[in-house]
């Protein structure tokens, strides 16, 4: 498989010889408060297992992975844009960081739904069998 160069599309003089990182800059952003009790109730209901790919960090990594999981808002808070009474069972879902990242990426201007991501993963698994 041919890998596309990440610097393609840049003029050669725009690509520096030394790639620096770590410079400090200040950024102002909006954050949305989360209720830790809602997270706890979501995990009590679903467990600490990804509801998309079934990854359980404790089973995979041992004690260091116990209770490690992301909790995803099915309707993103930035779309709601106000405080609301969260339902931990119907509004939240435990997902691993990889699945969470895929749910937060847009494809053709839209976020993938949980069902769409599950379907893609299942289709991929079927092709491997």
What is the Cα–Cα distance from 100 to 51, expressed in whole angstroms? 10
pTM, to two decimals: 0.77
pLDDT digits (tens, 9 = 90+) for 35-94: 999 999 999 999 999 999 999 999 999 999 999 999 999 988 888 878 889 999 999 999
What is the Cα–Cα distance from 14 to 77, expressed in whole angstroms? 38
Say whether pLDDT at 26 is over 60.
yes
DSSP 49: B
């Amino acid at each position: 498989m041919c890998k596309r160069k990440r610097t393609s599309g840049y003029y050669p003089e725009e690509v520096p010889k030394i790639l620096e990182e770590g410079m400090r800059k200040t950024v102002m952003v909006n954050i949305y408060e989360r209720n830790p009790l809602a997270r706890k109730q979501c995990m009590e209901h679903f467990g600490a297992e990804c509801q998309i790919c079934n990854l359980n960090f404790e089973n995979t990594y041992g004690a260091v992975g116990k209770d490690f999981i992301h909790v995803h808002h099915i309707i993103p808070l930035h779309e709601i844009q106000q405080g609301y009474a969260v339902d931990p069972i119907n509004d939240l879902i435990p997902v691993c960081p990889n699945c969470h990242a895929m749910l937060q990426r847009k494809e053709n201007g839209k976020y993938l739904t949980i069902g769409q991501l599950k379907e893609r993963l299942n289709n991929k698994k079927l092709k491997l069998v």
